[in-house]
Amino acid sequence: MLHSEPHEDSFLAGTIRQKTGVSVQRCYQCGKCSAGCPAASEMDIAPSVVLRHLQLQSSEADKHVLGSYSIWLCLTCHTCIARCPMEVDLPKVMDVLRAESLKHKLVHPKAKDIVSFHRSFLGTIRRFGRLWEMGFVADYKLRTGHLMQDIAVAPVMFEKGKLSLIPQFRKKLVSRIFAARGGNI
Ligand code: SF4
Ligand code: SF4
């Protein structure tokens, strides 16, 4: 009996290739990315192991990756790609994985605040065209309920002119970028 190979397009490996041009199959598991990653010690799956899961092309492995904490801890620092002998662009892979994790509602429970941070940050940029720290912090606190977190540093930031009460609007250019993304953040 003949067994057909799994088709990449049905799995995350295919989505990643379509969206970024990165082939996860290029990774030969040397582990240099994981050894140099500054966030690896906090991750539940090391970056090279994320790639190994994706190479397997199975629904279980894909689901495991989308539900991992690691994909939300990636700092996009590019240390991994600088060290990788195969130039596998892990930061781009992580970007796709975060978007897919949100789409399939598989975000790790510990990543809830990180997702709120992304949403508040990008929401502020979308509304005002640039970051307005005061609005961003207020939105983040409302989303997470961490109302008193870091409150002690606010007076110092005011004093140093780092917090403005009124936003500056520079919406035109930024709204074109959001429109191109279909308004999604
Ligand atoms: S450094 Fe590159 S080849 Fe080595 S494990 Fe990481 S991604 Fe794979
Ligand atoms: S880009 Fe992400 S995966 Fe790569 S080294 Fe930095 S934190 Fe780790």
Averaged pLDDT, 176-185: 71
The Å distance, Cα 29 to ligand 2 centre, comes to 15
* Whether residues 83 and 19 fall in one domain: yes
* pLDDT band (50, 70, 90) for residue 5: low
User: What is the separation of C-alpha 24 from the centre of its chain, rounded to a whole number of angstroms?
Assistant: 18
Answer yes or no: are the C-beta atoms of 44 and 72 closer than 8 Å: no
- Give the Cβ contact number of residue 138 at 10 Å: 14
d(CA 23, CA 57): 12
| Domain shared by 45 and 98, yes or no | yes
What is the residue type of 15?
T
CA of 64 to the centre of ligand 1 (A): 19
Taking Cα atoms as reference points, which of 162, 82, 165, 167 lies closest to residue 124? 167
DSSP letter for each residue of 109-177: GGGHHHHHHHHHHHHHHHHHSS--HHHHHHHHHHHH--TTTTGGGHHHHHHTT---SSPPP-HHHHHHH
Distance CA 126, CA 104 (A): 24
Q: Which two tokens stand for residue 137?
A: 């912090």
User: Do 42 and 129 belong to one domain?
Assistant: no
Q: Are residues 150 and 92 in the same domain?
A: no
75 in contact with ligand 2, CB cutoff 6 A: yes
Res. 185 pLDDT band, cuts 50 70 90: low
- Rounded CA gap, 123 and 136, in Å? 8
> Could you tell me if residue 3 is inside a domain?
no
Res 147: pLDDT: 82
**Which residue, judged by its Cα, is nearest atom 4 of ligand 2?**
80
Quick check: is 2 in a domain? no
The full length of the chain comes to 185
The answer, yes or no, to whether residue 1 has pLDDT greater than 50, is: no
Average pLDDT for 148-154: 81
**91 CA closest ligand 2 atom index:** 1
Q: Which of 56, 82, 107 is the last residue of a domain?
A: 107
Per-residue model confidence (pLDDT) at position 16: 97
pLDDT for the residue numbered 4: 59
Q: Would the pLDDT of 33 be above 80?
A: yes
Domain that holds residue 63: 8-107
| Mean pLDDT of all residues in 40-67 | 97
In a domain, 127, yes or no: yes
| 185 found inside a domain | no
Question: Looking at the predicted structure, is the pLDDT value of residue 136 above 50?
Answer: yes
pTM of the entire predicted model: 0.83
- Kindly tell me if the per-residue pLDDT of 3 is higher than 70: no
Residue of 177, 183, 168, 175 whose CA lies nearest to 134 = 168
Residue of minimum CA distance from atom 1 in ligand 1: 84
**Which pLDDT score is estimated for 171?**
73
Which of the listed residues 107, 141, 164 is the one where a domain comes to its end? 107
Tell me, yes or no, whether 34 lies in a domain: yes
16 and 79 housed in the same domain = yes
Q: Tell me what pLDDT residue 173 has.
A: 75
Sign of the dihedral defined by the CA atoms of residues 103, 107, 112, 114, in that order: negative
Work out the percent of the chain whose per-residue pLDDT is above 70.
Answer: 95
Same domain? For 116 and 74 the reply is: no
Query: Residue 74: what residue type?
Result: C
On whether both 100 and 36 belong to a single domain, the answer is yes
Q: Is the pLDDT of residue 8 over 90?
A: no
Count of domains for the chain: 2
pLDDT digits (tens, 9 = 90+) for 160-180: 877 777 777 777 777 777 787
Over the chain, what is the mean pLDDT?
A: 90
- Residue where one domain finishes, among candidates 78, 107, 136: 107
